[in-house]
Amino acid sequence: MFTVYAAVTVIAIAANLGIVVADFARAPSVLANAAEVRMPPRLLPVVAVLKAAGAAGLLIGLLGAPRLGTAAALGLTLFFACALGAHVRARVFHNIAFPGAYFAVAVAAFALSLTQL
């Protein structure tokens, strides 16, 4: 079971680090998405730091602090649940698959992290 947990967690770390780079770079797609869901662009660095902290927590959990990894996975799950909520609130459904995919990976990492406690 550890192998599955590790694989899913590595995917979650990589995915979140990828979007963190896009957030900090203020990629046009990120700015457009933020505008569509009515998130002020000034919050992008805050959002990026939250995602980076989640990815770091997942990595630390994978390296031997399972409770921290579980907390990080839960935090990312809640973060992306809120992102999905923002899309629904703003009725932006054409790209809801992106936060949905991040949410699914975070949920999987959280569920599998519970097996490591």
The structural domains of the chain, with segments of one domain joined by +, span 2-114
Report the distance separating Cα 109 and Cα 93, nearest Å.
25
Q: What is the DSSP letter of 41?
A: G
Total-model pTM: 0.95
Handedness of CA 67, 73, 79, 82 (dihedral sign): negative
**Are 96 and 87 spatial neighbours (Cβ–Cβ below 8 Å)?**
yes
Each residue's pLDDT, cut to its tens digit, for the chain (117 residues) gives 899 999 999 999 999 999 999 999 999 999 999 999 999 999 999 999 999 999 999 999 999 999 999 999 999 999 999 999 999 999 999 999 999 999 999 999 999 999 999
